[in-house]
Amino acid sequence: MVDIPDLQHQVMGYDRSATMFSPDGLLLQVEYAEKAVRRGSPSIGLNCADGILIVADKGKKDLLIIPESAEKIFEVDEHIMASAAGIVSDARILVNHIRLTAQQHKVTYDYPIDIESTIREISDIQQQYTQHPGVRPFGVALIVAGVDGNKSKLYTSDITGNYYEYTAVAIGENDDQIKEILRKEFKRDMKIDEGIRLCFKVFKKVLGNNYDIERFNVAYIKKENAKFNRLGREEIKKYG
């Protein structure tokens, strides 16, 4: 029979390595990283009839912070954007990597990179960081969205390096609750304008008294021109 202290030490041993499976078949550092994602402020992505949309909650920030310096939606290329939940500094490293990849692709092939190649690149890196000792998993999940030709695409990646394509998705805190609402209320024939209103309706339900229009970023890419557009503060307030 194993003493409780010995059992605790064993658990701590599994806990300390990012590459050691626990007896339950878990990588505990990956489990902890997923908790970091679920503690992060949420983002919603919608694949609308006329393009792609992301609405991101920046969370409650210090009033002394200049709002534009705390953006949660990143332009990857003019036809691709991304948002993150979890440790945003981890996301910045991944986003900067795929920005470089997108530019190298354009220079090499004289053609914009496709959306799936960018999410696959991110996912490959995230997966590698669950296999090597001396590193920790990236504590972030990402939404990557954009327009290929005349088709809009919406993907997410997770801690383990899996990625999936969605019609509508949420990452971060209360993501299960948000996705349940989206399953009921999101329609594929929605236009971007309708999608923005739906996202704010969802956030009002989820955040309750903590809802504040000042804490959101909104960006979209329309199929007609495949150009990244970020709404300004005054434009966002029209929807709040």
Summarised one tens digit per residue, pLDDT across range 120-167 is 999 999 999 988 888 889 999 999 999 998 899 999 999 999 999 999
Domains and CATH numbers, the chain: 4-237 (3.60.20.10)
Task: Classify 82 as helix, strand or coil.
Answer: strand
| Phi, psi torsion values for 128, nearest 5 degrees | -60, -35
Report the pLDDT value the prediction gives residue 206, as an integer from 0 to 100: 95
Judge whether residue 3 has pLDDT over 60.
no
CA distance 25 to 232: 46
Task: Classify 14 as helix, strand or coil.
Answer: helix
CA distance 50 to 82: 18
CA distance 236 to 240: 7
pLDDT band at 67 (very low <50, low <70, confident <90, very high): confident
| Pair 133, 18: CB distance under 8 Å | yes
| Pair 224, 58: CB distance under 8 Å | no
Judge whether residue 12 has pLDDT over 80.
no
